[in-house]
Structures are given as structure tokens and as C-alpha cells.
């Protein structure tokens, strides 16, 4: 069974400068927005480098500040830093302080977010060069960074929600950045509508928390967690998970993320891979003290997580768009993270969140560089052999591939994924005793699929012969250094980032785990009758599985093309289903969307137009018009009449109040 | 000893008014009177600064200790007849800001009407602002009455200021006749009050009445006072003058009446009723009275606004309804209700004033106040389109604008004291009000302009409009700073 550690009195350190982390990007967004507005109205012309300087400067400055703060915080990690900024809402019993908190979790997140964001900001300078909306782009990007930092730093669920909605809004703006293209504008709309469904769950959770605890402050909630019974905790957790599933693209709300690839590629890297989509994982980890009270909800999260991981990985097998493969891969990896937090191993979820952020951002940026070199081509069937033409980009992509496939121990996602697999197996489930084994097997199989589709991707893109247009081929060129260097930085970073959490089972220090552990309110995990000595063996197993995936894919797509063709023919039915993405979009279209549309039509045409406007309002308008006409008669403009009314009014009042 | 800090803002106002009148003598008839405008603005800004300094001193937060010669004591003068406590200061703040904005609107008006008597107009505005300002500090009913008359008599003149314009003349005349009548009612009530208590100091009246039982004559006195003052803030059924006067008066005067005059009226109400008449024998009566008036105003104001075609007339009816909403918070009373009243008045100041400034700017270009001529204003001046949308939606109480949080507090206060039905009427008729507010916004934003020529404005007007919009939006998201000020002000009444 799980043992809950009691909430101990935590001492807080007051900090005067936490606001700076979030304020810098906000300032950047304001400055850039203002300049862009002025240049749009032709008041002045703003050179692109000014926009770039402001945006990148704000992001990098924010990173430096958070890094410095994190270092000094790390010296005494037991006392979180808190800053009360202002009194946000005050209305009788409803009281919200706008305050930030830097603790082990938010500290790690803030450093990670600002670091990755800074690199992506730099990369964007090259990627968005010559785009008309250069200033607008950087305004949105900084605004996004601000919202994300508010989300992470907020000491209060409502502040977190402000950031949550902020990142959603910026994501919408950036997916539909090239809104002249209707399909891209539609993708933005889809993202925000699907997220609305999730946010309805979030709001329901918020209301329920407030109804029970009367506060949104994390620390007060923690202190009063006894108000949550198992039933209410389960409900709250499920509501918040609906929100998390929307934002982090889990079954059944994942459908917006692949479409979100319509945005500029650096946006996909920053928002739809590294940071925003992981907000759901962060939310669950931040509310861990409620989630440990609700084993049913946690179990559901683990199951949905592992199913999403498997489901998305199978779709990724047959995608032909380089960004779509990565998008489904992101959905799949997010599934891993939810598996981690679902089995109440919050630090492993956060660990994977960070390693994934590095290598997926690297992969996306490299993919963007590939697309940039090929003048917008995204179809991997028209690529091939790019290794010799764009070596820097290829190198970055290959580093990302090594990290995600988990084929080199100690590199990239190897440890973090393994940690999740191990915890999934080792954490006993209080409801279904056999569940850990099932979770483990599915997750292991998914890691095979991951290695397979990623290898297929790199073989088709970087090896073999070029299969695309000749014209494009002749202009093939490496991207500028401002793009390739951030890719390489992230690639090299993702090689080493795994070292922050080397498992103790193989003699590592597990620094991240030990750092985060005191924050999460689970003291020990009894092994599920599984000996800890098994962990190295399982690690070896997943290592072999990953290599099997790589070898198989390389064989099928690199050496023997006939194999992949035969495979496709033998399983043509399966392939069709996978290419149709299990027809989930179509299913939603014909059920949910059709249903909602029918209701909307009924409401707007029959209820509102017909009954309400047609009958009731018409009646009301007539009544009001008549009254108004009568009143107009009274409003005769004659002073004597007005005097009479005043006198009559006073007399009536006297009669009313003296008579009774 | 007289503590002149108690009426320092008024000294600024009156001083500036006299200077304006004197300087006028040196001008030739056709010259641009730039100096007069400057003196007037300096006068109001000086008043605001001295008010801020006094507030800072009383709360102990003034950075310049030299200006706080009296420490943290609340300044009083004339044997306690004037006392500028935090409540008075808050009302003064609204009145002074409204005066400043009125001056700005009138500068625009002078340009369109070159034959205007600039100096006299400015001076009278300053005098009436001084009257309103004194009224907020008055602790005694004669002082209160004199201050009120200073405000009202100046307003009669202002309303009739367009001498050659028939409707302006009509407006002034009507206002004078009806206003005189209502003043008579008020004075009648005051005389009874004095007869009952033998004192004119409001706090002493409260003490004297505390032990008395209700009597018909006392009730009569209360009704007379309510009727007299309800006229000033145009509560139905004493609102008849409002549409005619608002429509006929010059636009800056309409703006001034709708905000400064109304605020002064509420200041009088708050002092008289929550200090002087807040006694068990009378309270149920006048609260019931206000409930009737509030509901009547909300219903009549909103309904009669629906068919209006002239924007100034529409704003007149809107202001009647707004007075009704504010009364709902007023009759709930207590810390909660009065805080809500103060906060709402502050919000109302920005929403109403920015809309009237927009009206004046549009009128300066097109020469009309008909709503149909607002078609496509958005294309002619995007800023005016935004101001009309934000200002009017705030008046309607649509989130996320400040009007929403304001109404939230007003109706919340009413509900907390058990007047749920008043809040309900208020909410239902807020929905009705959307119809006519949005009608204007729709004309401005959706329709095509007949004449697409752009509408110009100078940078001060632009800045004021932008600041107002920023205030309305910010106070909607984050009402706390102003709320805290309003709380301090309201609690000063109960100490």
C-alpha cells in the first residue's frame, strides 16, 4: 500500500525578484507588440533585427535570471521561494493572491522552459526570416513564454489557470499564424475547440476544489487536504485530468495535436512538443497530494497514458509527413509521462518530460531545418540521402533519434523511459493486481514501435537516394548557422540530460529524483513483489527491444525495400486503418460534431430564432414599445406636467409610507 | 483654528476660476484663449494634487513629510462643519477627475462654437465643481444645502449656456424651474429635521433621533429629503427633467451633470442617511423608499432608453438606470454596500466620460448626435469605435469590463442584505440594456459609413480615451487596488 507522508511545516523564503522571470518575456511581448503595431500603421519602420533582439534578449535574460535563482535555491531546497505580487481578487469569501512559488518542481521546470525557449527563439530568427509577420511572430512567442512561466510559477490554481488559458490562446494564435491558408486557420480553431472541452473539465475541478476547500492556494490546499474524501478526490482528479488530457493530447482529446503542425515548425518544437503540451503532466504532478488520495483516478490515468502511447505509436508507423510522425510520436511520449504520473511516480514523469523536451525540440527543429532546405517539402517519400547534403542538420536529427529510440544507454530518454517502465511494473495497483504487468508489457512494446518508426523516419529522410524533385535538389543547401547551432545544442544536450537521473539500481546518483522526492507526498514505494535487482535486467531488456526495432526498421526500409513492400501488402488492411488514423477524426465528425451541430441548429433555428425571437421577443418588444410610447406621452416636455409628476410621485410615496 | 487642508482643493478651484475671469479681461474678442484653459487645468490638477497629498498624510503614506504639517489627523474646519475624511476624499477624487475630463470635452466644444463665452463657461464649471467638492465634506445640513445649491445653480447656467440655441435655453429653463421645486422640497424636509432635533449637525441629528420613535411628520420629512435629492441624481419618478436637459445642454455640461452632479448627490445621500438617519425608527422607511425608487429607475430608465434615436438622450435614460443600480448598493449599505457604491461610481466615471468625449469628438466632425449617423465610426476612427464598444459594454455590465465587477459588487451587497429581488430586477434589466447599448456599438462597428472621411482628434483626447479604455479593462480584471481605496473610504464613515 501507499504510505502518505504527513504535510510538514515548510518554511518559506520570501523573494522579491521572482516576478522578473515572467515579467521579462511579458515586457518583450509588449515592446514587440507595440513596435509591430506602430510599423503596421506606418508610423515607423522596425527592422527585423530589433524584433529579434528584443524577443531573444527577453527569453535569454529570463533564462539567466531563473538559472541564477535556481542555483541559489538549490542550496536550501527545503524552503521554497515565495513572492506575493498583489491581491488579485477580493470579494467576501473569495480571495486570491497573485503569487509565485519557486520550489524544486517549478524551479526545474522554469530553468528547462527558459533554456529550451531561448534556443528556439534563436532558431526562429533564421526560420522566420523574410516572413511578413516577423514582429507578430516574436510577440506571440514571448507572450507564450510569459504564460507558460505563469502557469509553472503560480502558487494558486487560479493563477495556474490564467497561464493555462494564456498558453492555449497563444497556441491558437501560432497554429493559425498563417491564417490566410484556411486549412491552417481551421487547425487553430480545432485546437482551441478541443481544448475548450478539456478546460470545461478543468473549471469543474476548480469549482469543486473551491466548494470543498474554499481556497485555490496550493499550500493551503495541501494543509487542508483532509477535506477531500476518496470520492471527492477522485471526482476532482478526473475533472482535472479531462483538462490535462485536452492540453496534453491524450485519448480521447489528442486529435488537435497532429493538426497543430500547421503552425511554424519552431512553434511545434516549443509549444507542441517541449513545453505547453506537458502542462497536463505538470498539473497532475503539482496536485499529487490529491491524486494519491484517488487510486481509481490514478489508475485510469496510467491506463489512458499507456493506451495513448501505444495508439499514437502505431499511427506514427505509417505517416508520411515528417512533422506528423513527430507529432504522433509526441502524443505517444506524452502517454509515457502520464503512465509515470498515473502510477504515482511523479518524478519519473517529470524526468521524462524534461528529457523528452530536449530531444523532441531537437527533432522538431532539425525537421524544420530539413523542410527549410527542401523549400517547404514535408513528405518523407520525396526525401532521402540528405545526410551528405545537410550534414549539420542530419547530425542534430540523428542525435535526437538516438535519444528517443533509447539505443544508447545513458543517452537521452533511455533512463527516463526506463524509469517509467520500471515504476509501472514495480508499483502495485490497489485495484487491479495484474495491471502493473500489463502496463509494463504494453509500454515495452511501444518502445519497440518507437524505435521502429523513428528509424524508418531517419532511413527515409537521410539515407538511401534522393527521391524528390530535381529542381529542389539543385537548390539543396544547409540552413544558416543560427538554425543549425540550436539544433546541435539541443542534440548534444539531449545526449547528456539523462545523467541528471541515473537510476540508483545501476549505481547512479538519481539527482533529479532525490531533488524532487521531498516535494511529492509519497514516502516509499513497496516493490510489487519485484526485486530491485531486477531493474538492471529489465533495463537490458528494453535496450535489446529498442535495438530490435532499429534493426528491423533499418532492414525493411534501408536494405531490403521488398520487405517493406511485402509487409505493406500482407497487412494492407491494417495499413489502411493506420493511415486513416483509426478513423477517429471521422468518428468524431459523425458522432460528436454532428450531434453538437444538430443541437446547435435546433437551438439557433427553432429555439432562439423561432420560439424566442419569433414569438417571445416579438411579444416583449411589442409590450415594451407600447410602454415606451406611453412613457413618451408622459415625457411631454411641458414643465408644468413634470412638476405635477414630481408632486404626484412625492404624494404617492407619502401615501405609501405613511399609510402602512 | 481653521485647518485649511480641509478645503484646499476647493481653494484651488475657486482661485483658478477667479484667475480665469480676471485674465479674460485682457483678451481681445476673437483670440484663442489658451492661457485660460491652462489656468483651469492647473487649478483642477492642483486640487487633485492637494487632495492626494492630504490623503497621503492622513494614511501616513505621504513621501514628502514637509507637506504633512498636521500629521495623520483628519483635517476639519469651521467648527467641524467641514471634514475631509477618506470618504469625502474619494468622492472628491471622482468629482475632480470628472471636472478635468469635462474641461477637456469643453475645449473641443469651444473649437466647434467660436462664439462661446469661454472664460465664463470655464469659471462656472470650476465654481460648480467647488460646490460639489465642498458638499462631500459637509457635516452639517445648512453647509450641505449651500454647497448643493452652488453646484445646482451653476448647472442651470451651464445647461442654458448656448444662448442662441433654443433647445439649450429650454434645457436651462426646465432645469431651473424643476430644480427650484426640488430644492424647496429638500429644504422643507431639512426644516422638519431641525425642528425635531434642534441641531443641524448630521452626527448630532443621528444621536438625537436614536431615541425617538417613528412619527408621521418625521417620515414626511424623510420623504421630502429623498424626493429633493433623488431629483439631483435623477431617480424615477423624479427623473423627468433628465432627458430634456441632457439632450439640450452642451455636451460637456451633459457629461458633467451625468457624473459630477450625480456623484455629489450620492455623497449627500450617504452622509445624510447612513450617518444622520441611520436610526431604527427611520431606517426601514427610507430603505423601503429607496427600494421603490431604485427598482422604478432601473425599469423606467432601461425601457425608455430602448426607442431613443439621439445618443445624448439615450445616455440620459442610461444614467437614470445607472442611478438605480447604484441605489441598490446604497440601500444595502454597510461596509459592503458603500464600498460597492464608491467603486461603481469610479468605474462609471471612466465609462461615461469616455463615451461623452467620443460623442463630443464625433459631434465636432459631423454636427449631429443621431445614432444613425454613427454608422461605421469604426472605420473613420478606430479608437472611437473601441471606446464606444468598451465604454457601453462596461455600462451594460458585460465581463471582462469594469462595469461587470462593479455590478457584481453592487448586486452582491444587495443580495447579502436580503434584497435579492432588487438585484434580480437589476440583472434582468441589465440584459435589456444590452439591446440599446449594443445598438450604438453595432452602428459604430458593423454598418458602413456614409461619409468615410476620418475623424481627427488631438493627442490629449487620444491619450484620455486610451487611458479610459485601459482603466475599464484593467479594473475588470483586477479591481483590487480601487476596491481597497473604496473600502478605506467606506470604513471611514463607520469609525
pLDDT of residue B343: 95
Q: Is A228 helix (H, G, I), strand (E, B) or coil?
A: coil
Q: Which residues of A touch B224 (CB under 8 A)?
A: 650
What is the chain B residue with the closest CA to A657?
B285
Q: How far apart are alpha carbons A285 and A338 in whole angstroms?
A: 10
What is the chain B residue with the closest CA to A86?
B480
Buried b (16+ CB within 10 A) or exposed e, B389-409: bbbbbbbbbbeebbbbbbbbb
Q: Pick from B162, B166, B173, B92: which is nearest to B120 by CA?
A: B162
* Whole-prediction pTM: 0.78
Q: What is the DSSP string of B341-379?
A: HHHHHHHHHHHHHHHHHHHHHHHHHH---BGGGGTTHHH
Q: Record the cell numbers describing residue B66, joined without a space.
A: 514637509
Question: Residue range A94-114: average pLDDT?
Answer: 90
Chain B contact probe: residue of A634, A635, A649 with most B CBs at under 10 A: A649
CB within 8 Å: B219 and A625: no
Q: How far apart are alpha carbons B355 and A654 in whole angstroms?
A: 38
Q: Pick from A508, A488, A490: which is nearest to A499 by CA?
A: A508
ipTM of the prediction: 0.72
Give the list of residues 6+ apart from residue A248 with CB closer than 8 angstroms, or none: A277, A278, A279, A280, A281, A334, A337, A338
Q: Record the cell numbers describing residue B69, joined without a space.
A: 504639517
Pairing between β-strand A13-14 and β-strand A81-91 as defined by DSSP bridges: parallel
Give the single-character DSSP code of A379: B
Residue A5 predicted with pLDDT over 70:
no
Do the Cβ atoms of A540 and A409 come closer than 8 Å? no
Residue A130 predicted with pLDDT over 50:
yes
Q: Which residues of B touch A625 (CB under 8 A)?
A: 306-307
pLDDT of residue A534: 80
Please tell me the distance in Å from B174's CA to the nearest CA on chain A.
6
CB within 8 Å: B177 and A639: yes
Buried b (16+ CB within 10 A) or exposed e, B152-183: bbbbbbbbbbbeeeeebbbbbbbbbebbebbb
How many A-B residue pairs are in contact by the CB < 8 A criterion?
89
Angle between helices B480-494 and B86-112 (to 10 degrees): 120
Q: Record the cell numbers describing residue A37, joined without a space.
A: 503595431
CB within 8 Å: B237 and A648: yes
Q: Which residues of A touch B484 (CB under 8 A)?
A: 87, 90
pLDDT in tens, chain B (495 residues): 677 778 889 999 999 999 999 998 888 766 677 888 999 999 999 999 988 888 777 776 666 666 666 667 788 888 888 988 889 999 999 999 999 999 998 888 887 777 678 889 999 999 999 999 999 999 999 999 999 999 999 999 999 988 888 888 888 999 999 999 999 999 999 999 999 999 999 999 999 988 888 888 888 899 999 999 999 999 988 888 899 899 989 999 999 999 999 999 999 999 999 988 888 888 888 999 999 999 999 998 988 888 888 999 999 999 999 999 999 999 998 889 999 999 999 999 999 999 999 999 998 888 888 998 898 888 888 899 999 999 999 999 988 899 999 999 999 999 999 999 999 999 999 988 988 898 898 888 888 888 888 888 888 899 999 999 999 999 988 888 898 889 888 988 886
Q: Which residues of B touch A88 (CB under 8 A)?
A: 478, 480
Give the list of residues 6+ apart from residue A386 with CB closer than 8 angstroms, or none: A370, A373, A393, A394, A461, A462, A466, A476
Calculate ∠ Cα A480-A485-A487, nearest 5°. 105
Question: Residue range A300-305: average pLDDT?
Answer: 94
Q: Kindly give the residue spans of alpha helices, DSSP state H, lying in B160-237.
A: 166-197, 202-210, 216-232
- Which residue ranges make up each domain of chain B? 288-495
Buried b (16+ CB within 10 A) or exposed e, A577-604: ebeebeeeeeeeeeeeeeeeeeeeeeee
pLDDT of residue A526: 53
Using pLDDT thresholds of 50, 70 and 90, give the confidence band for residue A530: low
The helix (H) or strand (E) run that includes residue A87 is strand A81-91
Do the Cβ atoms of B437 and B401 come closer than 8 Å? no
Residue corresponding to grid cell 548534444: A492
Residue A6 predicted with pLDDT over 50:
no
pLDDT of residue A623: 78
Residue A439 predicted with pLDDT over 60:
yes
CB within 8 Å: B223 and A635: no
Q: How far apart are alpha carbons B107 and B464 in whole angstroms?
A: 13
Q: How far apart are alpha carbons A513 and A535 in whole angstroms?
A: 16
pLDDT, greater one: A519 or A550:
A550
Q: Pick from A267, A2, A312, A285: which is nearest to A136 by CA?
A: A267
Angle between helices B283-305 and B311-332 (to 10 degrees): 160
Q: How far apart are alpha carbons B219 and A269 in whole angstroms?
A: 74
pLDDT, greater one: B259 or A273:
B259
Q: Measured in Å, how far apart are chain A's first and last C-alpha atoms? A: 71
Do the Cβ atoms of B324 and B230 come closer than 8 Å? no
Hey, how many other C-beta atoms are within 10 angstroms of the C-beta on A195?
A: 24
Burial of B451 (0-12, 13-18, 19+ CB in 10 A): exposed
Instruction: Tally the residues of chain A.
Output: 660
Do the Cβ atoms of A80 and A10 come closer than 8 Å? yes
Q: How far apart are alpha carbons B134 and B142 in whole angstroms?
A: 12
Q: Record the cell numbers describing residue A516, joined without a space.
A: 524532487
Q: How far apart are alpha carbons B464 and A162 in whole angstroms?
A: 29
Please tell me the distance in Å from B126's CA to the nearest CA on chain A.
28
| A249 φψ region: left (φ > 0), alpha (ψ -120 to 50), beta (else) | left
Question: Residue range A471-485: average pLDDT?
Answer: 85
Q: How far apart are alpha carbons A114 and A60 in whole angstroms?
A: 7
Q: Record the cell numbers describing residue A436, joined without a space.
A: 502493473
Interface residue A87 vs chain B (CB under 8 A)? yes
Q: How far apart are alpha carbons A116 and A121 in whole angstroms?
A: 9
Q: Measured in Å, how far apart are chain B's first and last C-alpha atoms? A: 24
What is the chain B residue with the closest CA to A92?
B336
pLDDT of residue A529: 61
Using pLDDT thresholds of 50, 70 and 90, give the confidence band for residue A524: very low
Q: How far apart are alpha carbons B294 and B288 in whole angstroms?
A: 10
pLDDT of residue B136: 94
Q: What is the DSSP string of B72-141?
A: TPPPEETTTTEE--HHHHHHHHHHHHHHHHHHHHHHHHHHH-TT--HHHHHHHHHHHHHHHHHHHHB-BH
What is the chain B residue with the closest CA to A90?
B480
pLDDT of residue A9: 59
Helices H / strands E in chain A, number of each: 28, 3
Q: How far apart are alpha carbons A121 and A269 in whole angstroms?
A: 11
Least confident of A74-78, A418-422, B387-391: A74-78
Amino acid at each position: 500500500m501507499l504510505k502518505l507522508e504527513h504535510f510538514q511545516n515548510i518554511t518559506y523564503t520570501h523573494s522579491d525578484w521572482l516576478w522578473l522571470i515572467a515579467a521579462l518575456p511579458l515586457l518583450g511581448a509588449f515592446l514587440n507588440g507595440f513596435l509591430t503595431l506602430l510599423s503596421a500603421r506606418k508610423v515607423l519602420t522596425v527592422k527585423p533585427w530589433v524584433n529579434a533582439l528584443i524577443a531573444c534578449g527577453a527569453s535569454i535574460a529570463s533564462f539567466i535570471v531563473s538559472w541564477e535563482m535556481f542555483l541559489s535555491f538549490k542550496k536550501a531546497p527545503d524552503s521554497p521561494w515565495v513572492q506575493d505580487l498583489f491581491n488579485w481578487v477580493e470579494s467576501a469569501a473569495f480571495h486570491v493572491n497573485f503569487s509565485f512559488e519557486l520550489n524544486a518542481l517549478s524551479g526545474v521546470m522554469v530553468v528547462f522552459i527558459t533554456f529550451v525557449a531561448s534556443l528556439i527563439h534563436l532558431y526562429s530568427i533564421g526560420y522566420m526570416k523574410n516572413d511578413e509577420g516577423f514582429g507578430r511572430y516574436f510577440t506571440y512567442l514571448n507572450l507564450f513564454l510569459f504564460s507558460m512561466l505563469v502557469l509553472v510559477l503560480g502558487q494558486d490554481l487560479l493563477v495556474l489557470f490564467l497561464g493555462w488559458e494564456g498558453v492555449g490562446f497563444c497556441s491558437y494564435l501560432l497554429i493559425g499564424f498563417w491564417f490566410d491558408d484556411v486549412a491552417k486557420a481551421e487547425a487553430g480553431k480545432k485546437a482551441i475547440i478541443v481544448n475548450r472541452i478539456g478546460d470545461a473539465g478543468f473549471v469543474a475541478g476548480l469549482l469543486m476544489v473551491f466548494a470543498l476547500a474554499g481556497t485555490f492556494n496550493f499550500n493551503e490546499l495541501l494543509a487542508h487536504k483532509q477535506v477531500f474524501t476518496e470520492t471527492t478526490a477522485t471526482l476532482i482528479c478526473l475533472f482535472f485530468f479531462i483538462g490535462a488530457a485536452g492540453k496534453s493530447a491524450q485519448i480521447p482529446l489528442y486529435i488537435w495535436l497532429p493538426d497543430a503542425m500547421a503552425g511554424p515548425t519552431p512553434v511545434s518544437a516549443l509549444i507542441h512538443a517541449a513545453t505547453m503540451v506537458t502542462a497536463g503532466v505538470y498539473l497532475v504532478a503539482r496536485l499529487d497530494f490529491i491524486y494519491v488520495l484517488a487510486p481509481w483516478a490514478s489508475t485510469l490515468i496510467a491506463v489512458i497514458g499507456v493506451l495513448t502511447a501505444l495508439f499514437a505509436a502505431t499511427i506514427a508507423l505509417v505517416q508520411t509527413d515528417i512533422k506528423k510522425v513527430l507529432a504522433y510520436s509526441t502524443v505517444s511520449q506524452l502517454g509515457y509521462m502520464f503512465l509515470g504520473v498515473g502510477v504515482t511516480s511523479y518524478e519519473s514523469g517529470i524526468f521524462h518530460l524534461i528529457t523528452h523536451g530536449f530531444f523532441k525540440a531537437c527533432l522538431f527543429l532539425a525537421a524544420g531545418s530539413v523542410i527549410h532546405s527542401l523549400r517547404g517539402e514535408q513528405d518523407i517519400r520525396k526525401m532521402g540521402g540528405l545526410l551528405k547534403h545537410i550534414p549539420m542538420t542530419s547530425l542534430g536529427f540523428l542525435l535526437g533519434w538516438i535519444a528517443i529510440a533509447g539505443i544508447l544507454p545513458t543517452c537521452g530518454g533511455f533512463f527516463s523511459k526506463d524509469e517509467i517502465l520500471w515504476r509501472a511494473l514495480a508499483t502495485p495497483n490497489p485495484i487491479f493486481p495484474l495491471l502493473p504487468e500489463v502496463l509494463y508489457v504494453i509500454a515495452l512494446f511501444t518502445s519497440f514501435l518507437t524505435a521502429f518508426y523513428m528509424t524508418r523516419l531517419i532511413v527515409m529522410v537521410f539515407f538511401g537516394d534522393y527521391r524528390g524533385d530535381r529542381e529542389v535538389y539543385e537548390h539543396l543547401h544547409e540552413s544558416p548557422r543560427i538554425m543549425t547551432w540550436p539544433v546541435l545544442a539541443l542534440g548534444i544536450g539531449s545526449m547528456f540530460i539523462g545523467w541528471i537521473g541515473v537510476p540508483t539500481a545501476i549505481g547512479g546518483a538519481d539527482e533529479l529524483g532525490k531533488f524532487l522526492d521531498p516535494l511529492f507526498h509519497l514516502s516509499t514505494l513497496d516493490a510489487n513483489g519485484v526485486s530491485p535487482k531486477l531493474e538492471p535486467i529489465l533495463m537490458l531488456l528494453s535496450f535489446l527491444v529498442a535495438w530490435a526495432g532499429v534493426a528491423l526498421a533499418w532492414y525493411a526500409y534501408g536494405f531490403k525495400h521488398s520487405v517493406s513492400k511485402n509487409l505493406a501488402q500482407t497487412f494492407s488492411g491494417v495499413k489502411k486503418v493506420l493511415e486513416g488514423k483509426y478513423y477517429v477524426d471521422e468518428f468524431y465528425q459523425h458522432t460528436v460534431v454532428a450531434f453538437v451541430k444538430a443541437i446547435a441548429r435546433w437551438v439557433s433555428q427553432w429555439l432562439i430564432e423561432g420560439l424566442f425571437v419569433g414569438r417571445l421577443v416579438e411579444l416583449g418588444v411589442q409590450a415594451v414599445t407600447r410602454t415606451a410610447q406611453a412613457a413618451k406621452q408622459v415625457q411631454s416636455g411641458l414643465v408644468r406636467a413634470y412638476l405635477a409628476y414630481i408632486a404626484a410621485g412625492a404624494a404617492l410615496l407619502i401615501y405609501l409610507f405613511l399609510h402602512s | 483654528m481653521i485647518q485649511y487642508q480641509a478645503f484646499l482643493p476647493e481653494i484651488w478651484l475657486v482661485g483658478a476660476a477667479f484667475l480665469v475671469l480676471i485674465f479674460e479681461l485682457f483678451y481681445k474678442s476673437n483670440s484663442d484663449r489658451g492661457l485660460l484653459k491652462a489656468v483651469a487645468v492647473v487649478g483642477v490638477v492642483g486640487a487633485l494634487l492637494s487632495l492626494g497629498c492630504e490623503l497621503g498624510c492622513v494614511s501616513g503614506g505621504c513621501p514628502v513629510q514637509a507637506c504633512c504639517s498636521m500629521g495623520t489627523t483628519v483635517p476639519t474646519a469651521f467648527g467641524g462643519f467641514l471634514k475631509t475624511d477618506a470618504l469625502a476624499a474619494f468622492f472628491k477624487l471622482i468629482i475632480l477627475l470628472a471636472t478635468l475630463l469635462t474641461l477637456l470635452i469643453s475645449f473641443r466644444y469651444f473649437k466647434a462654437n467660436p462664439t462661446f463665452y469661454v472664460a465664463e463657461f470655464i469659471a462656472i464649471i470650476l465654481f460648480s465643481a467647488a460646490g460639489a467638492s465642498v458638499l462631500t465634506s459637509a457635516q452639517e445640513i445648512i453647509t450641505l444645502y449651500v454647497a448643493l445649491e452652488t453646484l445646482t445653480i451653476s448647472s442651470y447656467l451651464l445647461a442654458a449656456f448656448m444662448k442662441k440655441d433654443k433647445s439649450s435655453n429650454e434645457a436651462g429653463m426646465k432645469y431651473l424651474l424643476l430644480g427650484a421645486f426640488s430644492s424647496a422640497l429638500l429644504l422643507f424636509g431639512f426644516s422638519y429635521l431641525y425642528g425635531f432635533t434642534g441641531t443641524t449637525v448630521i452626527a448630532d441629528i443621528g444621536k438625537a433621533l436614536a431615541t425617538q420613535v417613528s412619527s408621521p411628520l418625521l417620515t414626511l420629512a424623510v420623504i421630502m429629503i429623498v424626493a429633493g435629492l433623488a431629483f439631483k441624481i435623477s431617480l424615477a419618478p423624479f427623473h423627468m427633467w433628465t432627458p430634456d436637459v441632457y439632450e439640450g445642454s452642451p455636451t460637456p455640461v451633459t457629461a458633467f451633470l451625468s457624473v459630477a452632479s450625480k456623484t455629489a448627490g450620492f455623497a449627500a445621500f450617504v452622509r445624510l442617511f447612513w450617518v444622520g438617519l441611520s436610526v431604527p425608527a427611520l431606517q426601514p422607511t427610507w430603505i423601503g423608499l429607496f427600494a421603490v425608487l431604485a427598482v422604478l429607475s432601473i425599469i423606467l430608465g432601461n425601457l425608455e432608453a430602448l426607442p431613443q434615436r439621439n445618443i445624448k438622450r439615450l445616455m440620459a435614460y442610461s444614467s437614470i438606470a445607472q442611478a438605480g443600480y447604484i441605489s441598490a448598493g446604497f440601500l444595502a449599505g454597510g461596509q459592503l454596500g458603500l464600498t460597492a457604491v464608491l467603486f461603481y461610481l469610479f468605474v462609471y466615471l471612466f465609462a461615461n466620460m469616455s463615451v461623452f468625449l467620443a460623442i463630443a469628438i464625433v459631434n465636432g466632425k459631423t454636427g449631429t448626435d443621431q445614432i444613425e449617423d454613427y454608422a461605421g465610426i469604426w472605420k473613420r476612427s478606430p479608437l472611437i469605435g473601441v471606446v464606444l464598444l468598451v465604454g457601453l459594454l462596461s455600462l451594460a455590465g458585460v465581463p471582462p469590463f469594469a462595469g461587470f465587477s462593479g455590478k457584481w459588487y453592487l448586486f452582491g451587497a444587495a443580495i447579502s442584505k436580503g434584497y435579492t429581488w432588487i438585484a434580480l430586477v437589476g440583472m434582468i434589466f441589465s440584459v435589456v440594456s444590452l439591446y440599446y447599448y449594443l445598438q450604438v456599438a453595432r452602428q459604430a462597428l458593423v454598418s458602413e459609413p456614409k461619409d468615410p472621411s476620418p475623424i481627427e482628434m488631438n493627442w490629449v483626447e487620444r491619450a484620455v480615451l486610451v487611458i479610459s479604455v485601459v482603466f475599464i479593462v484593467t479594473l475588470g480584471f483586477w479591481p483590487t487596488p480601487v476596491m481597497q481605496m473604496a473600502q478605506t473610504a467606506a470604513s471611514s464613515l463607520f469609525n
